Amino acid sequence: MALTTLVLVKAAAFPILLSVVLVLLIRRQAKVWFLLLAFAFGCLGAFSLNHSFLRHLPTFYREGEIRAVTTLQAWLSGFVEAAIPEEIAKAIWISVLLLGWRRYLAHNGALIGGLVGLGFAFRENIEYARTQRC
């Protein structure tokens, strides 16, 4: 199944646009290449770390089920298999960036967090677009 250009643009536009706006608004406070690295770490590092977390977590669906049957199953799947591992993966990479470059980025923690999150959203959107019928 091919990923069409239109689907790719739709999936990538919002995270990239918001990242560019953030970088342009804050470019005087932090070096641009640090900010681009934060986006890249979110895109590659946090998404990959989340993927490795998910390989080791139990699934809450029974064999052959593709949708939640009960409300509890939906909540557990949504939080344990999606929200919690994603946020932990992003928090780890934000911490790594802030501790590793604290001399340069300590006063831009919120910006770094936003860019890591947008990088993660970019990669997640691309993966969702790949699963859609084109």
3-class DSSP state of 2: coil
User: Domain residue spans in the chain?
Assistant: 5-60+68-131
How many Cβ atoms from other residues are within 10 Å of residue 109's Cβ?
14
List of residues 6+ apart from 129 with CB closer than 8 A: 3, 7, 8, 10, 11
Identify the pLDDT of residue 17.
87
Identify the pLDDT of residue 121.
92
SS (H, E, C) 18-75: HHHHHHHHHCCCCCHHHHHHHHHHHHHHHHHHHHHHHHHCCCCCCCCCCCCCCHHHHH
Identify the pLDDT of residue 3.
65
Identify the pLDDT of residue 122.
92
Three-point CA angle 73, 76, 82, nearest 5° = 125
Give the Cα separation of 117 and 19 in Å (integer): 10
Identify the pLDDT of residue 25.
74
Average pLDDT across each block of 10 residues of the chain; the chain has 134 residues. List them in order.
72 85 72 81 90 85 76 85 91 89 73 89 88 64
Identify the pLDDT of residue 30.
67
